[in-house]
Each structure stands twice: as structure tokens, then as C-alpha cells.
Copies of this chain bind each other. A is one copy, B any other.
Amino acid sequence: MAGTGTDLNRLRELNSLSIVRALRGNPPSTVTELSARTGLSRPSADVMVKALVADGWATVVEPAANSVVGRPARRYQFRADAGHVLGIDVGGHKILAMLADLDGTVVHSTRVAVTPDADPASRLAAMDTVIANCLAETGFSGDDLWAITVGVTGPVDETGRTTLFTPLPGWTSVNPAEHLAARFDAPIRVENDCKLAAVAERWHGVAQDADDIVYLLAGIRTGAGLIIDGTLRRGYGGAAGEIGALRQVRWLGAPAHLQNCPGLPESVAPDDAAAWVFSAARDGDKAAKAAVRRYVRDLAVGAAALVLTLDPHVVVVGGGYSRSADIILEPLERELQRLCLRVPEIRASTLADEGVALGALRLALDEVDARLFTTSLPAPLAPPAG
């Protein structure tokens, strides 16, 4: 029964989707271009794209200045604003929401600061506020959202819970997916923050060329996210990448080398300690340099375990400490050279603290795509015209 029995309707769907693919991510295209891009004949491409326009998936862009000989062609464009998705980073210090259209263009983002020891209820309330603001400031309603993804700390199981552990107090009892499902109709997904950051690096970050990626979160917390063969790997129970739980790897204590660096002035707040150490090391401070060396050495053991297990193309170093990539990357590479069989390329993230939210957006878009590309074209939820 699960057979791939394929009839004519399916063929038409396939070709319609083929046209959608050809439209997306390209500048407004003529029918001739679409025909060339899809391999379909020009009349077919014409019929398809006209149907898409009728259903609200595409629009006609007026010819514009055309300096070429011949009748000017109509240009069609995918209606990226037919729907929107939301990506949310629920972090220890901040909550960040990003709203993007179907092309993945970020339309708006909102953030609010929270304290790491906030209780779950107030954290969820802050999340609600951030979302509400993001929608209010752009004039959208919850019905305009086609998918929502939330990034949280700790391994996430199928249901969206972080049962194994999480640094956020009380968070294990919370299910953000259920919480949001009561407010929004869109499909909601909860995912681990490191995993989302990894996705973001492949989407808009420094690993766009790689299919096998290890993302290292280097910050007050240490963690990892894995992309294998181009897709995010969650593991059977959603706990892939949690190599830090292995004591031999020393990730848990690694940041302490920086936090407790001898010579650290009392005036420096704990959150700024690492930055101070990196800066001091850059200035040649002996103790700071030793602290960085010890930190990197511990970080490298876990990284080596990941690298040896997966043999990735690229290792991306992200997280708060990646701002000091200039003094981390080189010793990290040296350590990996010592520990690994084949050393991957090591690159520093450039997504600052937006990686998790961006990755959440990408996953939400994937959700939309999956529906779009498998279960035929859904009824056009979009208004008939912009």
C-alpha cells in the first residue's frame, strides 16, 4: 500500500514544485528562464507558473527597463511574503525572536534580557512577550505564522521536553511546545540550542560549503551540534553531541580555567571574566596565556572525540568565546593535530549571538518546505495579492 504509485496528478504536482524550486532564491524570472531551469517546455512552464500566480504562490513583476531586443518578457517571482516563520532562542541571558518570510529573509527581530536563574514561569512569560512584540511591531497575527521553532538549552526529546538535564532551573518540567501550541496553530518544534547554531552555520554562516560539520559551542557552557551529510543529527533520543557528559573529556570544568584565572581583578564581573582573560592573553599576560592554553587543551579533547567519531569537513567554533577566536583557533588546531588522524578545517563563527535564532528559523522553514514538497501544494493560505 505504501507504494509509490504515481499517476498524472502527481506528475503535475512534481512539476509545479519544480517550478517553485526554480522561482525560489532567484531574481524575478521569465518563463523562458524557468523552462530552461526546470527542463520543462516553455508552454508547460507557462501554465504552471500561471497556476501558481492564481493560487497566490507567485506574482508578476512588471517588465522594468528592458534593454534587450525583442518583446519584453513578463517576470514572475515567488511570493516570499505568502507566509512567515518564527525562530526563538530561549537562552540563559536573553530571549531572541526572529521573524522571516518564506525566502528566509529576516523581517524583524525582538529581544529581551533575562537572568539565568529566572524561574520557568517567568521565562515562558518573557518568551510570550517577545513573540507578541515581534508580531505587533510587524503587524502580523499568529495566523500568519506557518511554523515555529524554539531553541533551548539541553538535549530535547521527541515531545519537546528537556528531560535529561538543563542548566535552566526547573526547566525540565516545562514543555514550551505545549505552551505555544495553546496560542498558535502552526507546527511547533523545540530543539537544542547547539544543534540550531550548527544549522545556522551551514545556512548563513561559515560552513555553507560543508556537509559534515561539528559545531562547538565555546562559552560559559560547552556543547556541540552535529550536521552529517547535510542534515542535522539529533540522535535516537535527541542527545547527539553531548560528549561533554563524559568526564574524561573535561568539558564541564574547562571554562573554569578562564573564570578562575589568577590575576583576575575583583572589579571584573563573572560574565566578563573570560573576555578579560582573552584580552590579557592577547597583551602577553603569562597567567592569562596559561589559562587560555589549559582551556583550549580541555576543549580539544572533547572536540577530538567528536572529530574522530565523525571525521567532519569543518569544525565551527561558536559561542561567547568565539569572539576571541584569534587566540583560540590556532592552539585548538595544534591540539587537534596532535590528537586526531585527519584534522578538519577549523573556522570561527561570525553569527554572534544570533546563531540559535537563525537556526530555529531554518528548521521552521524546513518544516514548511517538507509540507510544501511532500503533501502536494497546500491550499493557498496567502491572500490573493500583496
Is there an interface contact between B5 and A304, defined as CB atoms closer than 8 Å? no
Considering only CB atoms, which chain B residue lies closest to A244 in the complex?
B308
Measured in the bound complex, the distance between the Cα atoms of B6 and A126 in whole Å is 49
Report whether B1 and A242 are in contact in the complex, using a CB–CB cutoff of 8 Å.
no
- Residue A377 at the B interface, CB < 8 A? no
0/1 string, A229-244, CB within 8 A of B gives 1: 1010111111111111
Q: Which residues of B contact A18 (CB under 8 A)?
A: 3-6
- Among A11, A21, A248, A311, find the residue whose CB has the most chain B CB atoms closer than 10 A: A311
Q: Which of B11, B22, B241, B344 contacts A309 (CB 8 A)?
A: B241
Q: Nearest residue in B to A11 (C-beta to C-beta)?
A: B11
Which residues in B have their C-beta under 8 angstroms from that of A237? 311, 342
Q: Chain B nearest CB: distance from A375 CB in Å?
A: 15
Complex CA gap A18/B211 in Å reads 30
Smallest beta-carbon distance A259→chain B, Å: 24
Is there an interface contact between A1 and B246, defined as CB atoms closer than 8 Å?
no
One of B3, B164, B224 near A341 (C-beta < 8 A):
B164
Residues of B within 8 A of A344 (CB): 236
Do B233 and A228 touch across chains, with their CB atoms under 8 A apart? yes
Contacts known (A306-B309, A309-B306, A341-B155); A212 close to B241, Cβ less than 8 A: no
A234 nearest CB neighbor, chain B only: B311
Q: A5–B313 Cα gap in the complex (Å)?
A: 32
Nearest-neighbor residue (CB-CB) of A10 within chain B: B11
Interface stretch of the complex, out of A35-43, A174-182, A352-360 = A35-43
Q: Is the CB of A5 within 8 A of B38?
A: yes
- Assess whether A291 is interfacial by the CB under 8 Å rule: no
**Copies in the assembly, this chain:** 2
Residues of B within 8 A of A306 (CB): 309
**Whole-angstrom distance from the CB of A165 to the nearest CB of chain B?**
7
A340 at the interface (CB under 8 A from B): yes
A244-B309 Cα distance, complex, nearest whole Å: 9
- Provided the pairs A3-B38, A4-B14, A37-B1 are in contact, do residues A311 and B240 lie with their beta carbons within 8 angstroms? yes
CA distance A40 to B245 in the complex (A): 51
Docked-complex contact A165 and B341, CB < 8 angstroms = yes
Known: A6-B11, A11-B6. A239 touches B342 (CB 8 A): yes
Tell me the bound Cα distance from A231 to B224 in angstroms: 22
- How distant is A271 from chain B, measured CB to nearest CB, in Å? 27
How long is the Cα–Cα vector from A234 to B211 in the complex, in angstroms?
12
A287 within 8 A of B: no
B4 touches A38 (CB 8 A): yes
Given A236-B312, A248-B305, 14 extra CB contacts under 8 A: A3-B39, A3-B40, A4-B17, A5-B40, A155-B341, A211-B236, A212-B235, A224-B309, A229-B231, A239-B311, A242-B309, A245-B339, A245-B341, A305-B305
15 contacts between A and B (CB under 8 A): A1-B37, A3-B18, A3-B21, A3-B37, A164-B341, A236-B344, A237-B342, A238-B311, A241-B309, A241-B311, A243-B308, A245-B308, A245-B340, A246-B304, A248-B248
Interface residues of A (CB under 8 A from B): 1, 3-8, 11, 14-15, 17-18, 21-22, 36-40, 155, 164-165, 210-212, 224, 226, 228-229, 231, 233-249, 301, 304-306, 308-313, 339-342, 344
